[in-house]
Amino acid sequence: MKDFFRRLKYYGLGFTIGAIMVVFMFDNKGCSWFPSNRVKDNLFNRMIVVNASSFDEIKEQGFTESEFLKTVQAGTVDFGKSKKQGLDKVYRIDYETSKGKKKHCFMTMGDESFMTEIIFSPKKASQISPTNSDTELPGTILFIPKNEFLFYMDSSTVLKEKMKSIGIKNDKELNRLIRKNGRFNFSRSFLSQHPKPVHCLQFNVSKTSKETLFVKCIWYKDKIKVYDLTADTLDF
Protein backbone atom coordinates (compact mmCIF):
# COMPACT_ATOMS: atom_id res chain seq x y z
CA MET A 1 0.00 0.00 0.00
CA LYS A 2 2.88 2.34 0.80
CA ASP A 3 4.37 1.68 -2.63
CA PHE A 4 1.04 2.56 -4.23
CA PHE A 5 0.80 5.94 -2.46
CA ARG A 6 4.46 6.68 -3.18
CA ARG A 7 3.87 6.02 -6.88
CA LEU A 8 0.71 8.07 -6.81
CA LYS A 9 2.64 10.96 -5.23
CA TYR A 10 5.34 10.78 -7.92
CA TYR A 11 2.69 10.59 -10.64
CA GLY A 12 0.91 13.65 -9.25
CA LEU A 13 4.17 15.58 -9.00
CA GLY A 14 5.15 14.66 -12.56
CA PHE A 15 1.72 15.56 -13.90
CA THR A 16 1.79 18.96 -12.16
CA ILE A 17 5.26 19.81 -13.50
CA GLY A 18 4.22 18.71 -17.00
CA ALA A 19 1.06 20.81 -16.89
CA ILE A 20 3.02 23.89 -15.82
CA MET A 21 5.52 23.37 -18.63
CA VAL A 22 2.73 23.05 -21.19
CA VAL A 23 1.16 26.30 -20.01
CA PHE A 24 4.45 28.24 -20.26
CA MET A 25 5.61 26.63 -23.51
CA PHE A 26 2.39 26.64 -25.50
CA ASP A 27 0.15 29.38 -24.14
CA ASN A 28 -0.88 31.65 -27.07
CA LYS A 29 0.85 29.27 -29.49
CA GLY A 30 -1.98 27.16 -30.77
CA CYS A 31 -3.32 25.20 -27.81
CA SER A 32 -6.97 25.84 -28.59
CA TRP A 33 -8.19 24.37 -25.30
CA PHE A 34 -6.98 27.43 -23.38
CA PRO A 35 -9.97 29.84 -23.02
CA SER A 36 -7.97 32.81 -24.36
CA ASN A 37 -6.90 30.90 -27.46
CA ARG A 38 -10.39 29.54 -28.08
CA VAL A 39 -11.71 33.09 -28.19
CA LYS A 40 -8.92 34.26 -30.52
CA ASP A 41 -9.46 31.26 -32.80
CA ASN A 42 -13.13 32.24 -33.09
CA LEU A 43 -12.22 35.86 -33.83
CA PHE A 44 -9.63 34.97 -36.46
CA ASN A 45 -12.06 32.63 -38.20
CA ARG A 46 -13.98 35.76 -39.22
CA MET A 47 -13.38 38.78 -41.40
CA ILE A 48 -11.57 41.44 -39.32
CA VAL A 49 -12.52 45.06 -40.02
CA VAL A 50 -11.56 48.51 -38.70
CA ASN A 51 -13.28 51.83 -39.23
CA ALA A 52 -11.38 54.92 -40.40
CA SER A 53 -10.44 56.20 -36.94
CA SER A 54 -9.29 52.76 -35.73
CA PHE A 55 -7.17 52.35 -38.86
CA ASP A 56 -5.45 55.66 -38.04
CA GLU A 57 -4.86 54.43 -34.47
CA ILE A 58 -3.06 51.33 -35.74
CA LYS A 59 -0.72 53.52 -37.79
CA GLU A 60 -0.15 55.91 -34.88
CA GLN A 61 0.93 52.96 -32.72
CA GLY A 62 3.62 52.20 -35.31
CA PHE A 63 2.16 48.99 -36.74
CA THR A 64 1.69 47.81 -40.28
CA GLU A 65 -1.58 45.93 -40.79
CA SER A 66 0.09 42.51 -40.70
CA GLU A 67 2.23 43.41 -37.65
CA PHE A 68 -0.84 44.55 -35.75
CA LEU A 69 -2.76 41.37 -36.50
CA LYS A 70 0.15 39.22 -35.32
CA THR A 71 0.47 41.29 -32.15
CA VAL A 72 -3.22 41.01 -31.34
CA GLN A 73 -3.21 37.28 -32.06
CA ALA A 74 -0.37 36.89 -29.54
CA GLY A 75 -2.12 39.15 -27.01
CA THR A 76 -4.12 38.20 -23.93
CA VAL A 77 -7.89 38.21 -23.57
CA ASP A 78 -8.95 40.12 -20.47
CA PHE A 79 -12.12 38.22 -19.61
CA GLY A 80 -12.83 40.44 -16.60
CA LYS A 81 -13.16 43.48 -18.87
CA SER A 82 -14.96 41.69 -21.72
CA LYS A 83 -18.64 41.32 -22.50
CA LYS A 84 -19.03 37.54 -22.47
CA GLN A 85 -22.80 37.19 -22.28
CA GLY A 86 -25.54 37.80 -24.82
CA LEU A 87 -25.72 37.49 -28.59
CA ASP A 88 -23.24 40.30 -29.29
CA LYS A 89 -20.03 39.64 -27.36
CA VAL A 90 -17.07 42.02 -27.08
CA TYR A 91 -13.60 40.90 -25.97
CA ARG A 92 -10.79 43.10 -24.69
CA ILE A 93 -7.34 42.11 -26.00
CA ASP A 94 -4.25 43.36 -24.14
CA TYR A 95 -0.96 43.62 -26.04
CA GLU A 96 2.33 45.53 -26.20
CA THR A 97 3.74 47.75 -28.95
CA SER A 98 7.26 47.26 -30.28
CA LYS A 99 8.37 49.99 -27.83
CA GLY A 100 6.94 48.07 -24.87
CA LYS A 101 3.89 50.27 -24.37
CA LYS A 102 0.86 48.45 -22.98
CA LYS A 103 -2.21 48.87 -25.16
CA HIS A 104 -5.59 47.23 -25.61
CA CYS A 105 -8.38 47.03 -28.14
CA PHE A 106 -11.85 45.54 -28.25
CA MET A 107 -13.01 42.95 -30.78
CA THR A 108 -16.69 42.36 -31.43
CA MET A 109 -18.11 38.87 -31.98
CA GLY A 110 -21.75 39.09 -32.94
CA ASP A 111 -23.90 35.99 -33.00
CA GLU A 112 -24.21 34.73 -36.60
CA SER A 113 -21.93 37.52 -37.84
CA PHE A 114 -18.93 36.71 -40.03
CA MET A 115 -17.33 40.07 -39.19
CA THR A 116 -15.39 41.10 -36.10
CA GLU A 117 -14.57 44.77 -35.69
CA ILE A 118 -11.51 46.10 -33.89
CA ILE A 119 -12.39 49.14 -31.80
CA PHE A 120 -10.11 51.45 -29.79
CA SER A 121 -12.37 53.05 -27.26
CA PRO A 122 -12.23 54.37 -23.68
CA LYS A 123 -15.66 52.82 -23.14
CA LYS A 124 -16.22 49.55 -21.34
CA ALA A 125 -16.90 46.46 -23.44
CA SER A 126 -20.49 46.37 -22.15
CA GLN A 127 -21.11 49.77 -23.79
CA ILE A 128 -19.84 48.76 -27.24
CA SER A 129 -22.35 47.64 -29.83
CA PRO A 130 -21.69 46.17 -33.31
CA THR A 131 -23.13 49.30 -34.95
CA ASN A 132 -21.30 52.14 -33.21
CA SER A 133 -18.75 52.76 -35.97
CA ASP A 134 -18.32 55.66 -38.36
CA THR A 135 -21.10 55.00 -40.84
CA GLU A 136 -20.14 57.53 -43.50
CA LEU A 137 -16.80 55.99 -44.43
CA PRO A 138 -16.20 52.38 -45.52
CA GLY A 139 -14.15 50.19 -43.20
CA THR A 140 -10.79 48.63 -44.05
CA ILE A 141 -10.68 44.83 -44.18
CA LEU A 142 -7.54 43.69 -42.35
CA PHE A 143 -8.10 39.95 -42.60
CA ILE A 144 -10.21 37.44 -44.54
CA PRO A 145 -10.03 33.71 -43.66
CA LYS A 146 -8.09 31.61 -46.16
CA ASN A 147 -10.84 29.89 -48.09
CA GLU A 148 -10.77 30.21 -51.87
CA PHE A 149 -14.56 29.92 -52.11
CA LEU A 150 -15.53 31.69 -48.88
CA PHE A 151 -17.96 33.92 -50.78
CA TYR A 152 -20.55 32.39 -53.05
CA MET A 153 -23.52 33.68 -55.02
CA ASP A 154 -27.05 32.78 -54.11
CA SER A 155 -28.64 30.39 -56.59
CA SER A 156 -30.97 33.15 -57.81
CA THR A 157 -30.86 33.39 -61.62
CA VAL A 158 -31.48 37.15 -61.44
CA LEU A 159 -28.44 37.68 -59.18
CA LYS A 160 -26.16 35.55 -61.35
CA GLU A 161 -27.24 37.42 -64.47
CA LYS A 162 -26.52 40.73 -62.72
CA MET A 163 -23.06 39.50 -61.79
CA LYS A 164 -22.29 38.35 -65.32
CA SER A 165 -23.48 41.63 -66.81
CA ILE A 166 -20.81 43.52 -64.86
CA GLY A 167 -18.03 41.01 -65.54
CA ILE A 168 -18.21 38.62 -62.57
CA LYS A 169 -18.58 35.21 -64.17
CA ASN A 170 -18.42 32.91 -61.16
CA ASP A 171 -17.73 32.54 -57.43
CA LYS A 172 -13.98 32.39 -57.97
CA GLU A 173 -13.98 35.81 -59.62
CA LEU A 174 -16.23 37.19 -56.87
CA ASN A 175 -13.79 35.99 -54.18
CA ARG A 176 -10.82 37.46 -56.05
CA LEU A 177 -12.38 40.92 -56.34
CA ILE A 178 -13.50 41.08 -52.71
CA ARG A 179 -10.09 39.99 -51.44
CA LYS A 180 -8.29 42.40 -53.76
CA ASN A 181 -10.14 45.66 -53.12
CA GLY A 182 -13.16 44.98 -50.91
CA ARG A 183 -14.23 47.43 -48.18
CA PHE A 184 -16.83 47.03 -45.46
CA ASN A 185 -19.81 49.36 -45.71
CA PHE A 186 -21.19 50.09 -42.23
CA SER A 187 -24.06 52.32 -43.34
CA ARG A 188 -25.66 49.63 -45.52
CA SER A 189 -25.12 46.81 -43.02
CA PHE A 190 -27.55 45.72 -40.32
CA LEU A 191 -25.26 44.07 -37.77
CA SER A 192 -27.74 44.07 -34.89
CA GLN A 193 -30.39 42.27 -36.93
CA HIS A 194 -31.23 38.77 -35.70
CA PRO A 195 -31.19 35.90 -36.34
CA LYS A 196 -29.05 36.76 -39.41
CA PRO A 197 -27.13 40.08 -39.42
CA VAL A 198 -26.83 41.64 -42.87
CA HIS A 199 -23.31 42.62 -44.00
CA CYS A 200 -22.57 44.90 -46.93
CA LEU A 201 -19.27 44.86 -48.82
CA GLN A 202 -18.29 47.26 -51.58
CA PHE A 203 -15.70 46.99 -54.34
CA ASN A 204 -14.90 47.98 -57.92
CA VAL A 205 -14.43 45.52 -60.75
CA SER A 206 -11.32 47.45 -61.89
CA LYS A 207 -9.26 50.50 -60.87
CA THR A 208 -10.68 52.53 -63.74
CA SER A 209 -14.30 51.55 -63.11
CA LYS A 210 -16.59 54.39 -62.03
CA GLU A 211 -19.15 51.89 -60.80
CA THR A 212 -18.99 50.82 -57.15
CA LEU A 213 -20.66 47.51 -56.43
CA PHE A 214 -22.41 46.78 -53.14
CA VAL A 215 -23.14 43.16 -52.21
CA LYS A 216 -25.24 42.15 -49.23
CA CYS A 217 -24.24 38.93 -47.49
CA ILE A 218 -25.11 36.62 -44.62
CA TRP A 219 -23.06 33.94 -42.87
CA TYR A 220 -24.42 30.54 -43.81
CA LYS A 221 -22.83 27.19 -42.89
CA ASP A 222 -19.28 28.58 -42.44
CA LYS A 223 -19.43 30.40 -45.78
CA ILE A 224 -20.66 33.82 -46.85
CA LYS A 225 -23.66 33.90 -49.13
CA VAL A 226 -24.10 36.93 -51.40
CA TYR A 227 -27.80 37.41 -52.02
CA ASP A 228 -28.14 40.96 -53.34
CA LEU A 229 -26.24 43.32 -55.64
CA THR A 230 -26.60 47.02 -56.30
CA ALA A 231 -24.37 49.46 -58.17
CA ASP A 232 -23.69 53.18 -57.83
CA THR A 233 -22.08 55.14 -60.68
CA LEU A 234 -19.85 58.12 -59.93
CA ASP A 235 -20.70 61.31 -61.78
CA PHE A 236 -17.07 62.48 -62.06
Residues 64 and 90 in one domain: yes
Q: How many domains does the chain divide into?
A: 2
Question: Tell me, what's the pLDDT at 28?
Answer: 47
5: in domain: no
Boundary residue ending a domain (129, 160, 176): 129
Give this prediction's pTM. Answer: 0.83
- Whichever domain contains 70, its CATH number is 3.30.2310
Residues 155 and 90 in one domain: no
53-79 pLDDT, tens per residue? 999 999 999 999 999 999 999 999 999
Q: List CB contacts of 95: < 8 A, sequence separation 6 or more.
A: 71, 72, 74, 75, 76, 102, 103, 104, 105
Range of the domain at 51: 35-129
Q: Are 130 and 117 in contact (CB under 8 A)?
A: yes
195: in domain: yes
As a whole number, mean pLDDT of residues 167-181 equals: 93
Question: Tell me, what's the pLDDT at 17?
Answer: 58
Q: Where are the alpha helices (DSSP H) in the chain?
A: 2-26, 35-43, 52-60, 65-73, 157-165, 171-181
23: in domain: no
Opening angle at CA 17, ends 16 and 20, nearest 5: 85
Residues 67 and 104 in one domain: yes
User: Predicted confidence band at 12 (pLDDT cuts at 50, 70, 90)?
Assistant: low
**Statement: residue 117 has pLDDT above 60:** yes
User: Predicted confidence band at 26 (pLDDT cuts at 50, 70, 90)?
Assistant: very low
For a pLDDT cut of 70, what percent of the chain falls above it? 83
As a whole number, mean pLDDT of residues 41-57 equals: 95
Residues 112 and 167 in one domain: no
124-150 pLDDT, tens per residue? 999 998 776 767 789 999 999 998 899
206-231 pLDDT, tens per residue? 877 778 999 999 999 889 999 999 98
1: in domain: no
Residues 97 and 44 in one domain: yes
As a whole number, mean pLDDT of residues 166-189 equals: 93
Question: Tell me, what's the pLDDT at 112?
Answer: 92
Q: State the average pLDDT for the chain.
A: 86
Q: Are strands 151-153 and 223-233 parallel, antiparallel or unpaired?
A: parallel
Q: Are 129 and 192 in contact (CB under 8 A)?
A: yes
Residues 125 and 48 in one domain: yes
Q: Specify the higher pLDDT residue, 132 or 37.
A: 37
- CA-CA distance, 112 to 195, in Å (whole number)? 7
Residues 197 and 225 in one domain: yes
As a whole number, mean pLDDT of residues 96-121 equals: 94
